[in-house]
Amino acid sequence: MNTIPLILLLLFGSALLAYFVGKINFVLKVGIALAGLLVSSYFFLTLYGLSEKFIFHLAGFELTWQINSLSWFFGMLIFGLGILVAIYSTVYMRGKERVDFYCFALCTTIASMFGIVVSGDLLSFFFFWEIMTWSSFLLVIYYRYEAQTAGIKYFVMSAIGAYSMLIAILMIYARLGSFSFQALSAGWQGFSLGTQIAIIILFVMAFGVKAAMMPLHTWAPEAYAISPSSFTSLFSGVLSKMGIYGFVLLFYVFSAGKLSASFVDIHGTSLPGYILAWFGALSALIATLIAIVQDDAKKLLAYSSVGQLGYIILGLGLGSSIGVSGALFHAVNHTIFKGMLFLAVGAVFYRTGTRKFSELGGLISRMPYTFFVVLLGIITIAGIPPLSGFGSKWLIYEAIIQKKMVFLAVVTFAASTASFMYCYRLIFGIFLGQRDEKYDDVKEVPWAMRGPMLLLSLFTIYLGFYPYHLLNLIAEVEKTVLGIHPFAYGQSVLFSRFGSVDTMTVMNVVAVVFVIVFVLFSLLYKRSRKVGLKDIHTSGEIPGEEINLHYAIDFYQPFSRGVGAVLKRSADRLYMNFASNMEGLFDMMRYIYTGNGQTYVMYVIVFLAFVLAFSSWLI
Partner 1 sequence: MIYYVAAFSLILIGTYAVLVKKNMVKIVLGLSLIDSGVNILLISLGYIKGKTAPIFSTPALKAQNMVDPIPQALVLTAIVIGLAVTALALTIVIRLYDHHKTLDISKIRELKW
Partner 2 sequence: MYLDPVLMIAVPLFAAFLIPILGKINKNIAKYVPVLVIGFNLYEAVMLLPVSMIKPVIVIIAAWRPPLGINLTIGPLGNMLALIISLVGFIVSIYNIKFVEEEPNEKFHMLFMLLVAGATGMVLTGDIFNLFVFLEITSISSYALTAFIRHRDSAEAAFKYLVIGSISSTFVLLGVALIYATTGTLNMADIAQKIQSVDPKIAVTAMILLVTGFGVEAEMFPLNGWAPDAYSQAPTPVSAAFGGIVVKAGMYGLARLIFTIFNFHGIFYFLLIMGIITLLIAEMSALRQKQIKRMLAFSSIGQMGLVMMALGLATQEGVVGGLFQMFNHAIIKPLLFLSAGYLVFYSGSKNIEDLDGMGRLKPLTSFFFAFGAFAIMGLPPFSGFWSKLIIISETIRNGFVVLAALALIGSVIEAVYYLRVVGRLYFKKPHEGERTHYVHPTAIVAMTLLTLIVLFVGLYPDFLMTYLKPAAAELLNKSAYIKDVLTAGL
Q: Which residues bind partner 1 (CB under 8 A)?
A: 590-591, 593-598, 601-602, 605
Rounded least distance, CB 119 to partner 1, Å: 44
Q: Convert residues 467-496 into a mask of x (bound to partner 2 by CB under 8 A) and - (unbound).
A: ------------------------------
Q: Measured from the CB atom, is 521 or 603 closer to partner 2?
A: 603
Is 176 among the residues that bind partner 2 (CB under 8 A)? no
Task: Return the number of the residue (558 or 595) whose C-beta is nearest partner 2.
Answer: 595
Binding test (CB under 8 A) with partner 2, winner from 26, 173, 349, 495? 173
CA 63, CA 53: separation in Å to the nearest integer? 10
Q: Compare residues 160 and 533 and give the one whose CB is closer to partner 2.
A: 160
Q: Which of 6, 38, 160, 454 binds partner 2 (CB under 8 A)?
A: 160
Q: How far is the CB of 578 from partner 1 (least distance, A)?
A: 24
Q: How far apart are CA 67 and CA 52, in angstroms?
A: 5
Q: Check: CB of residue 209 under 8 Å from CB of residue 161.
A: yes
The answer to whether residue 174 forms part of the interface with partner 2 (CB under 8 A) is yes
Phi, psi of 124 (to 5 degrees): -70, -30
Binding range to partner 2, per CB under 8 A, among 137-145, 303-311, 491-499, 514-522? 137-145
CB 56 within 8 A of CB 121: no
If one asks whether residue 439 binds partner 2 (CB under 8 A), the answer comes out as: no
Radius of gyration from C-alpha coordinates of the chain: 26
Q: Return d(Cα 279, Cα 199) in angstroms, integer.
A: 18
CB closer to partner 1, 558 vs 595 = 595
> Given the complex with partner 2, which of 1 and 604 has the nearer CB atom?
604
Verify cis geometry, omega within 30 degrees of 0, for the bond prior to 215.
yes
144 makes contact with partner 2 (CB under 8 A):
yes
How many helices (H) and strands (E) the chain has is answered by 24, 6
Positive or negative: CA dihedral 108, 481, 245, 398: positive
Q: Which stretch binds partner 2 (CB under 8 A): 71-79, 149-157, 258-266, 339-347?
A: 149-157
Quote the CA–CA distance of 162 and 205 in Å, as a whole number: 8
Among the listed residues 486, 483, 484, 479, the one whose alpha carbon sits nearest the alpha carbon of residue 49? 479
| 583, interface contact from partner 1, partner 2, none, CB < 5-8 Å by kind | partner 2
Is residue 20 close enough to count as binding partner 2 by CB under 8 A? no
Establish if 57 lies at the interface with partner 2 (CB under 8 A): yes
User: Which of partner 2, partner 1, none does residue 528 bind (CB under 5 to 8 Å by kind)?
Assistant: none
Name the residue nearer to partner 1 (CB basis): 596 or 615. Answer: 596
Rama region for 51: left / alpha / beta (φ>0; ψ in -120 to 50; rest): beta
Q: Which one of partner 1, partner 2, none is in contact with 142 (Cβ closer than 5 to 8 A by kind)?
A: none
Select 524 or 618, whichever has its Cβ closest to partner 2.
618
CB 587, min distance to partner 1, A: 9
CA nearest 247: which of 340, 300, 318? 318
At its nearest, how many Å lie between partner 1 and the CB of residue 603? 11
Q: Which of 114, 155, 279, 311 binds partner 2 (CB under 8 A)?
A: 155
Q: How many residues bind partner 2 (CB under 8 A)?
A: 55
CB closer to partner 1, 540 vs 595: 595
Cα 111 from Cα 8, distance rounded (Å): 6
Binding status of residue 171 toward partner 2 by CB under 8 A: yes
Which range in 140-148, 219-227, 302-310, 490-498 contacts partner 2 by CB under 8 A? 140-148
Which residues within the stretch 73-132 sit at the binding site for partner 2 (CB under 8 A)?
A: 123, 127-128, 130-131
Q: Specify the DSSP class assigned to residue 439.
A: G
535 contacts partner 2 (rule: CB under 8 A): no
Shortest Cβ distance from residue 604 to partner 2 (Å)? 5
Q: Which residue number, 547 or 589, has a Cβ lying nearer to partner 2?
A: 589
Interhelix angle for 69-92 vs 321-352, to 10°?
Answer: 10
Please, what's the b/e burial string for 432-446 (b: 16 or more CB within 10 A of its CB; e: otherwise)? Answer: bbbbbeebeebebbe
> Shortest CA distance to 329 belongs to which of 502, 77, 67?
77
The option from partner 2, partner 1, none interacting with 147 (CB < 5 to 8 A, set by class) reads partner 2
- 170 is a contact residue toward partner 2 (CB under 8 A): yes
Q: Which residues contact 313 (CB under 8 A, 6 or more apart)?
A: 211, 213, 244, 247, 276, 277, 279, 280, 283, 327
Q: Is 17 left (phi over 0), alpha (psi -120 to 50) or beta?
A: alpha
Q: Which does 618 bind (CB under 5 to 8 A by kind): partner 2, partner 1, none?
A: partner 2
**For residue 283, what are the contacts with CB-CB under 8 A and spacing of at least 6?**
212, 213, 214, 217, 306, 307, 309, 310, 313
Min. distance of Cβ 585 from partner 2 in angstroms?
Answer: 8
Q: Quick check: 193 binds partner 2 (CB under 8 A)?
A: no
| Contacts of partner 2 in 568-607 (CB under 8 A) | 583, 586-587, 589-590, 592-593, 595, 597-601, 603-607
Shortest separation between residue 318's beta carbon and partner 1, angstroms: 54
For residue 513, state whether it binds partner 2 (rule: CB under 8 A): no
Residues 190 and 194: their CA atoms lie apart, in Å, by: 12
**Least distance between partner 1 and beta carbon 598 (Å):** 6
**Contact call for residue 145 and partner 2 (CB under 8 A):** yes
What is the rounded CA–CA span in Å between residue 361 and residue 429?
Answer: 5
Written as one letter, the residue type at 478 is E
The reply to whether 266 sits near partner 2 by the rule CB under 8 A is no
Nearest partner of 321 among 211, 426, 478, 162, judged by Cα = 478
Burial 410-424 (b: 16+ CB within 10 A, else e): ebbeebbebbbbbbb
CB of 592 to partner 1, least distance (A): 9
φ and ψ at residue 288, rounded to 5 degrees: -65, -45
Cβ proximity to partner 1: between 523 and 588 the closer is 588
* Three-class DSSP labels, 369-407: HHHHHHHHHHHHHHCCCCCHHHHHHHHHHHHHHHHCCHH
Q: Binding residues for partner 2, per CB under 8 A?
A: 57-60, 123, 127-128, 130-131, 133-134, 141, 144-145, 147-148, 151-152, 155-156, 159-160, 163, 166-167, 170-171, 173-174, 583, 586-587, 589-590, 592-593, 595, 597-601, 603-608, 611-612, 615-619
